[in-house]
Amino acid sequence: MTAHPNLTLYHGEPNGPSFTVLAALFETDVDADLVHIDLTHADRHGPNCERSVAVDMSIEGEGPVLVADGEPMADSVFIACYLDAIGTGTRLRPADPYARWQMMMFCRQTIERVAPAAAFLGCKAHLAGKLHAMIPGIFDGLAARIHSEDLRARWHDVRDGIFPQGQVDDSVTKIVQAVERVEAQLADKDWLMGDYTIADLESYAWLAGMVELVPQAFVNKPGTSGWMERLRARPAVQRALSAATVPDPRQVWAPGPEINRWG
Amino acid sequence: MADVTLYHWEPNANSGKPMLALMEKGVAFNSHYLDLLNFDQHQPDYLKINPQGTIPAMTHGHLVLTESTAMMEYVDEAFDGPKLMPASPQDQWRIRWWMKFMDQWLGPSFSMFGWKFFVGPSARKRGEAELEAAINRIPLPERQVAWRKAIYGLFSDEEMAESGRRIGVGIKMLEAELSQRAWLASDQYSLADVNGFNLAYALPLSQPHLANDDLTPNIMRWLRAIYARPATKACWALGRTDMVKRVDILEQDYIPNKGAAA
């Protein structure tokens, strides 16, 4: 028996941050009650989910929520670190402090550069139409529940179809660069940091849906394609992907982190 | 000769974080001061250490580390001395959540004010040709954009208003969190406090209408408790400009709410 608190995980489709946490949960062999919520319906901000300042103000945007001992926690990479610390299964962080620093640095680059770009392009392709088709009163009611003003503004932008070309181009560039970085890391190893870690989960989480939306980034990238296949073949990842309620969870996006305000 | 060298600017914001963490741990290090306003961080000698030209950077033997918050976690794990992370994984999660929130949401809003009213005007004392040459030496394109905005005062009213809003929201969040616990995000002094102090120590000076003993007594208690620590005193003694004097405001026992700032 694992000695950890009773856990409940509120998660969306296994894509983006919900993928990272579902896969980390199964890799680390931690028990949690799973509650599927519709992140594209702002469920995270209503009665279907538990809330806290950390959930309301998480700059990750629409990520999963893990409740431990009554405390709702957000931010997928840090939840994955938590699961790694309490779990008994696969270790998802290196033990060596420098290797751990390298892993956290890789994750931070993904969080800061890749996630905003991927969420922006994903919402443009797969959420804007759905929100635009919503009856105004219904959308406004959902949006009004969102506590963070800047996250709420991102929802309104998606509904209103505000996707400035400069940000589209910049986001595509960021995805292209991210795949180049992944490909370079994999030149001489099977996993991004050598060992299989949270960096693999978090990078896959944001890039998997980009194969459809930014196909040019993946042309001639055998290392990246092979890595995605290897990752998907892992039993814990299979289990995470089987939590999907739609044919292709890589097409399900909700507003993510903001694009850097400093340009 | 210590096998740790820290390349840093003033004890403030990102530079101050690993400086204070090293001092709390009692780790001896060579202090290599870089003058941010003289663009020392974009000179070839430093770019050999950190090709991205960001401050701070740390070397430990042959290892090179950048990014202040990740660097602090390394410092805590790699060296002996008091632990700056609690043992509880849930506390660790909370500390990381707050550090990310400060690094990526609240901190950039503070810096926008700092750059508009301090860094920009200081840099503009140089001639335009010298400034352009300095900007063109910056390795990261997004840092070029940021420096250009700062140097020429290009932050829009809308951007400044949004940063102002975030500062107001962030101060209320900090006060609420510190009303629940002695320290930020856990019950022991941790990296979150080291990080938070570097962000917030000058608040009662720069935002006296938002942070004072009447409105935010818990923030003030917390700042004074960190200021009183010997490591903090030793860290701030490494500053070379008038910037370090801002911390002196924490010697005042009572800072009243004087209403809107001038």
Alpha-carbon dihedral sign for residues A113, A261, B6, B120? positive
Cross-strand bridge partners of residue B4: B60
The two tokens of residue A45 are 């901000």
| C-beta of residue B173 within 8 angstroms of C-beta of residue A53 | yes
CA separation for the pair A36, A47 (Å, rounded):
13
- Asked if A147 reaches chain B (Cβ–Cβ under 8 Å), the answer is no
Phi, psi of B125 (to 5 degrees): -65, -15
Q: Among A31, A56, A86, which residue terminates a domain?
A: A86
A23 and A106 part of one domain: no
CA distances from A239 to A15, A30, A206, B81 (A): 13, 13, 18, 42
3-state secondary structure of A247: coil
For residue B159, which residues of chain A lie inside 8 Å, CB to CB?
Answer: 261
- Asked if B78 reaches chain A (Cβ–Cβ under 8 Å), the answer is yes
The candidate with the shortest Cα–Cα distance to A77, out of B54, B73, B189, is B73
Query: How much is the pLDDT for B152?
Result: 86
CA separation for the pair A65, A54 (Å, rounded):
9
Query: How much is the pLDDT for B116?
Result: 87
A58 and A120 part of one domain: no
A117 and A147 part of one domain: yes
Cross-strand bridge partners of residue B57: B7, B66
Residue A5 DSSP one-character state = -
- Asked if B100 reaches chain A (Cβ–Cβ under 8 Å), the answer is yes
- Give the architecture (CATH level 2) of B4-78: 3-Layer(aba) Sandwich (3.40)
A150 and A213 part of one domain: yes
The pLDDT mean for chain A works out to 97
Q: Which residues contact A58 (CB under 8 A, 6 or more apart)?
A: A74, A75, B97
A123 and A226 part of one domain: yes
Residue A262 lies inside a defined structural domain of this protein: no
Please say if the pLDDT value at position B250 is more than 80: yes
A114 and A239 part of one domain: yes
Decide if B93 and A82 are in contact by the 8 Å CB cutoff. Answer: yes
Query: How much is the pLDDT for A1?
Result: 44
User: Order of strands across the sheet with B30-33?
Assistant: B30-33, B4-8, B57-60, B63-66
The candidate with the shortest Cα–Cα distance to A207, out of A238, A234, A187, A183, is A183
Residue A258 lies inside a defined structural domain of this protein: no
Please say if the pLDDT value at position B125 is more than 90: no
Please say if the pLDDT value at position A103 is more than 80: yes
CA separation for the pair B122, B36 (Å, rounded):
11
A72 and A120 part of one domain: no
Query: How much is the pLDDT for B262?
Result: 43
A26 and A128 part of one domain: no
Cross-strand bridge partners of residue B31: B6
Residue A260 lies inside a defined structural domain of this protein: no
pTM of the predicted model as reported, rounded to 2 decimal places:
0.97
A-chain residue closest to B155, CA distance: A262
Query: How much is the pLDDT for B121?
Result: 86
Assign domain B89-241 one CATH number from 3.30.70.360, 1.10.40.50, 3.10.105.10, 1.20.1050.10.
1.20.1050.10
The two tokens of residue A80 are 């994955």
Query: How much is the pLDDT for A263?
Result: 57
For residue A149, which residues of chain B lie inside 8 Å, CB to CB?
Answer: 165, 169
| pLDDT 10s digits, A126-167 | 999 999 999 999 999 999 999 999 999 999 999 999 999 999
**Domain B4-78 shares a fold with domain B89-241:** no
Largest CA distance in chain A: 54
In chain B, where the domains are located: 4-78, 89-241
A121 and A169 part of one domain: yes
Residue A1 lies inside a defined structural domain of this protein: no
Please say if the pLDDT value at position B103 is more than 60: yes
The candidate with the shortest Cα–Cα distance to B106, out of B172, B166, B191, is B166
Please say if the pLDDT value at position A3 is more than 90: no
Query: How much is the pLDDT for A127?
Result: 98
CA separation for the pair A184, A190 (Å, rounded):
11
3-state secondary structure of B148: helix
Kind and range of the H or E run holding A85: helix A76-86
Query: How much is the pLDDT for B260?
Result: 54
Q: Which residues contact B235 (CB under 8 A, 6 or more apart)?
A: B11, B16, B19, B20, B23
The two tokens of residue A178 are 């991210």
| pLDDT 10s digits, B56-91 | 999 999 999 999 999 999 999 999 999 999 999 999
The candidate with the shortest Cα–Cα distance to B163, out of B231, B216, B215, B117, is B117
CA distances from A157 to A116, A143, A254, B16, B162 (A): 14, 11, 12, 37, 16
- The CA distance from B220 to the nearest CA of chain A, in Å, is 21
Q: Among A86, A118, A147, which residue terminates a domain?
A: A86
Lowest average pLDDT, out of A172-176, B76-80, B129-133, goes to: B129-133
For residue B142, which residues of chain A lie inside 8 Å, CB to CB?
Answer: 260, 262-263
**Best to test chain A binding among B4, B100, B144 (most A CBs inside 10 Å):** B100
Task: Judge residue B127's burial from the number of C-beta atoms within 10 Å of its C-beta, 0-12 exposed, 13-18 middle, 19 or more buried.
Answer: exposed
| C-beta of residue B110 within 8 angstroms of C-beta of residue B15 | no
3-state secondary structure of A7: strand
Query: How much is the pLDDT for B119?
Result: 82
Q: What is the CATH number of the domain that holds A110?
A: 1.20.1050.10
- Asked if B74 reaches chain A (Cβ–Cβ under 8 Å), the answer is yes
A165 and A234 part of one domain: yes
Domain count, chain A: 2
Residue A201 lies inside a defined structural domain of this protein: yes
Residue A177 lies inside a defined structural domain of this protein: yes
Percentage of the residues of chain A whose pLDDT score is greater than 70: 98
Query: How much is the pLDDT for B118?
Result: 83
| pLDDT 10s digits, B36-56 | 888 899 999 999 999 999 999
Decide if A53 and B93 are in contact by the 8 Å CB cutoff. Answer: no
Query: In three state form, how does the secondary structure of B177-237 look?
Result: HHCCCCCCCCCCCCHHHHHHHHHHCCHHHHCCCCCCCCCCHHHHHHHHHHHCCHHHHHHHC
Kind and range of the H or E run holding A66: strand A65-68
pLDDT band at A13 (very low <50, low <70, confident <90, very high): very high
CA separation for the pair B71, B261 (Å, rounded):
36
A104 and A197 part of one domain: yes
Please say if the pLDDT value at position B145 is more than 90: no
Kind and range of the H or E run holding A232: helix A222-232
For residue A85, which residues of chain B lie inside 8 Å, CB to CB?
Answer: 89, 92
Chain A, window 6-45: residues with a beta carbon less than 8 angstroms from a chain B beta carbon? none
A195 and A147 part of one domain: yes
The two tokens of residue A5 are 């608190």
Q: What is the CATH number of the domain that holds A67?
A: 3.40.30.10
Please say if the pLDDT value at position A53 is more than 70: yes
CA distances from B194 to A39, A94, A243, B234 (A): 35, 25, 40, 14
Percentage of the residues of chain B whose pLDDT score is greater than 70: 98
Q: Among A57, A86, A115, which residue terminates a domain?
A: A86
List the domain range (segments joined by +) for residue A46. Answer: 7-86
| pLDDT 10s digits, B151-165 | 888 899 999 999 999
Residue A131 lies inside a defined structural domain of this protein: yes
The two tokens of residue A147 are 């506590």
The two tokens of residue B125 are 């004392």
Residue A261 lies inside a defined structural domain of this protein: no
